Structure 1
């Protein structure tokens, strides 16, 4: 399942109108171009549907590995499963067995509790649109196996964890992607249908759409199953989920299966399933920056509006999208977990509209000696783990406290990566020439701080920086003191800590952000400059 990170968006990029024009050969060429020599070793299966015509292609970073995949080989599709669960939910709503405004508590096991906020309950629509206020993963869960994190969870763990959570905001008021919420919704769907999830989705979705290689737990006798990989080419186990929660990310399906699924969305039939699929296209949350249908994310692209969902597990990535006008759709499946290095959205959007850049392969390359020297040192990650970075010849080596040392590779996108496990070290050069980094692992992003970093001066008044700083029309940065920390919050996004670096300069390494405050001749803070991703935005304090 794709774990969504905070996206600090500085500006929207407008693209010229374009049109998809792929046949099998041009689709093959596009995939080959994207993957040629990619250090991940990934393979991809992709399809484009344009006005009813279907193009298919397979490609691998190493062409000799092409036998790893096929059009009828089953991949894990991760969170794309949520859209299928939404279709099952829509059928139960049409049958009068569920209502989106039902409180979650109405469908929980006897004795189970769900949190409320000022008397406002979590409703099914909040689980569907990721506005329940529930975290992505319950804090009380012990996910002891990173390679298959949900494998040790039991159904009872869902409800015991639910009763321990306190909501920070009212349900429906804030988007926060929640796999926990999606697992609960999957369980409610299965319980209401009075069928185990495997049987339910098989009878109501897979069989009617002739998705012959699709399954939850066990593949059919003749179904070839793809082996998943981490982005450093290591095989990794399949993901498994507690009973009846597979609607969160437990579906396996082939490219041909997903083509049939897309076709059913592009041209919904008049039967109960077709009507349910069409209903999932309805926008449920129209707040700016959200745009959520029934689990689908609403994404305008040039002259069309698309419904999109990505998926990712420990060894797979998936992308599915289609236009609301029924003219165009694309699906991309990969046998490699690519979430930490950008996922499949650039590939998928390019297939929908070639004016969108597809991205380049990440090639193994050599880091500059200057960069290596700048990174060498002792660090503490945001989670409290200490890490030592050392130079070993022309490469970087990392060692966390109490763990072995690991060699790091480096790619043409500017990221370091361990050769032995799935993680990413992303350097960020600051305006003063120093270099920091963020650590990406398991779907999370942790800021790294040099242990010898200067502490916030005791006589510094954080309140001096507090205020609202408009950066563009309708988009501002709010800065405020929270105890002994200074925090910032952009319009429509969550608050994050900004750490003192030196006089009037603060950083948030996890997001590659540097903020420099400006003062007038009297010493009062009057403005700021925000640096991120090579761009600078200015805002006057008000």
Structure 2
């Protein structure tokens, strides 16, 4: 783990491993150790948040509240019976598996985001605009025929779940995923700087007492630009929350992954089994398998499941391998786009034979 951390050039990095119920955490990075220990800070996990939205979908379907074959546009355009023929007949299954025929982001997203691309690209694009863009979009390909990774689609799914249940996405995630799995440190927004104030002295920042392994106010990790020196403000996801809003401590990420390793007896047992089932194959020779929420690769010790994510200033990798009862959660406070070793390093750690 120490060698893996040293292989990544970032101001701060945490690698957390759970193997057969035993946790090991290693912290490192080029910056001086912060006042709040790195492994107690909350990190942006970017696109790995999609696994939470997919698990929410599996739980709601398992409870009989929705069907994977529901057409998203029907839930997003209620009150018109019989339903009109939607521009995009994609189902909930298509949206979560990136087969809905959607681009990565709506076409009108880029003009408003370019001027703040490195700091706040999503904040000016609210949920209502995401839904409107989806309802007027005409897919280039019939849903279910091609795979194309899409933040747009995962976000539409979250808003569809909210519309179908008349419950905000944040409340759905908190009630059906975070609370049942006791994920106490997870937040869906950047912390408010006012939360850091010492109530006895508003002019001075002060830490708030917290239980080990949990995150309280003042513990959001600070991301950095590719130079590793310039700090980046916390990312506001706007209408793309379901695709990338989760902020979590390494401890909470391990708790989340451990539930996937051994679903038996957890409140989400059925849904956790569902999200491990292969659904489609893609890529050259159809060698890459996709479940409802995870990328799945073969290995000599059994299949491994993983998802990576990146924001404007941070990166994350989460994965698990049931056959060896191993899970890896890695986070770093630097966004690197070219010749990036972070994901490959974390993946290699998960792929190792633990003996």
- Mapping of residues 336-485 of structure 1, within 5 Å: 336-342=334-340, 344-354=342-352
Q: Deviations over 1:231-269 (max 9, x none)?
A: 1121112222235x4221001000011011111111113
CA distance in 1, matches of 2:150, 2:85: 18
Residue 131 of structure 2 is aligned to residue 159 of structure 1: yes
Structure with a larger share of its residues in helix? 2
Shift of residue 312 of structure 1? Answer: 0.5
Range with bigger deviation, 255-264 or 344-353:
344-353
CA distance in 2, matches of 1:81, 1:225: 16
User: Is residue 268–residue 274 contact of structure 1 (8 Å, CA) maintained in 2?
Assistant: yes
Structure with a larger share of its residues in strand? 1
Shift of residue 50 of structure 1? Answer: 1.6
Q: In the alignment, which residue of structure 2 is the partner of 1:193? A: 165
Of 178, 190, 208, the residue aligned with 1:206 is: 178
Range with bigger deviation, 202-211 or 304-313:
202-211
SS of residue in 2 equivalent to 1:321 = strand
Q: Deviations over 1:82-120 (max 9, x none)?
A: 00111111111011111111112221134798434xxxx
Of 24, 45, 49, the residue aligned with 2:14 is: 45
Q: Deviations over 1:2-32 (max 9, x none)?
A: xxxxxxxxxxxxxxxxxxxxxxxxx2x2245
User: Is residue 68–residue 227 contact of structure 1 (8 Å, CA) maintained in 2?
Assistant: no
Q: In the alignment, which residue of structure 2 is the partner of 1:330? A: 328
SS of residue in 2 equivalent to 1:139 = coil
Shift of residue 218 of structure 1? Answer: 5.8
CA distance in 2, matches of 1:31, 1:58: 11
CA distance in 1, matches of 2:162, 2:222: 28
Residue 93 of structure 2 is aligned to residue 122 of structure 1: no
Q: In the alignment, which residue of structure 1 is the partner of 2:271? A: 276
User: Is residue 198–residue 217 contact of structure 1 (8 Å, CA) maintained in 2?
Assistant: no
Q: In the alignment, which residue of structure 2 is the partner of 1:263? A: 258
Q: In the alignment, which residue of structure 2 is the partner of 1:505? A: none
Of the two structures, which has the highest relative contact order with CA contacts closer than 8 Å and spacing of 6 or more? 2
User: Is residue 58–residue 66 contact of structure 1 (8 Å, CA) maintained in 2?
Assistant: no
Alignment gaps of 5+ in structure 1: 1-26, 356-542
CA distance in 2, matches of 1:97, 1:191: 12
SS of residue in 1 equivalent to 2:308 = strand
User: Is residue 267–residue 326 contact of structure 1 (8 Å, CA) maintained in 2?
Assistant: no
Shift of residue 65 of structure 1? Answer: 4.2
Residue 56 of structure 2 is aligned to residue 85 of structure 1: no
Q: In the alignment, which residue of structure 1 is the partner of 2:116? A: 145
User: Is residue 68–residue 226 contact of structure 1 (8 Å, CA) maintained in 2?
Assistant: no
Shift of residue 354 of structure 1? Answer: 4.0
Shift of residue 343 of structure 1? Answer: 5.6
Number of residues paired by the alignment? 319
TM-score by length of 1: 0.55
SS of residue in 2 equivalent to 1:322 = strand
Alpha carbons of 1:159 and 1:113: their partners in 2 closer, same or farther (altered >3 Å)?
Answer: farther
Alpha carbons of 1:353 and 1:305: their partners in 2 closer, same or farther (altered >3 Å)?
Answer: same
User: Is residue 31–residue 58 contact of structure 1 (8 Å, CA) maintained in 2?
Assistant: no
User: Is residue 307–residue 323 contact of structure 1 (8 Å, CA) maintained in 2?
Assistant: yes
Alignment gaps of 5+ in structure 2: 196-207, 209-215
Shift of residue 42 of structure 1? Answer: 3.0
Alpha carbons of 1:325 and 1:158: their partners in 2 closer, same or farther (altered >3 Å)?
Answer: same
Q: In the alignment, which residue of structure 2 is the partner of 1:237? A: 233
User: Is residue 317–residue 343 contact of structure 1 (8 Å, CA) maintained in 2?
Assistant: no
Q: Deviations over 1:260-311 (max 9, x none)?
A: 1111111113344122122111111135144110121111234321111000
CA distance in 1, matches of 2:14, 2:101: 35
Shift of residue 156 of structure 1? Answer: 2.2
Q: In the alignment, which residue of structure 2 is the partner of 1:55? A: 24
Q: In the alignment, which residue of structure 2 is the partner of 1:103? A: 71
Shift of residue 318 of structure 1? Answer: 0.4
Q: In the alignment, which residue of structure 2 is the partner of 1:30? A: 3
Q: Which protein shows a greater Rg?
A: 1
User: Is residue 48–residue 318 contact of structure 2 (8 Å, CA) maintained in 1?
Assistant: yes
Alpha carbons of 1:109 and 1:240: their partners in 2 closer, same or farther (altered >3 Å)?
Answer: farther
What root-mean-square deviation, in Å, do the aligned CA atoms of Structure 1 and Structure 2 show?
A: 2.4
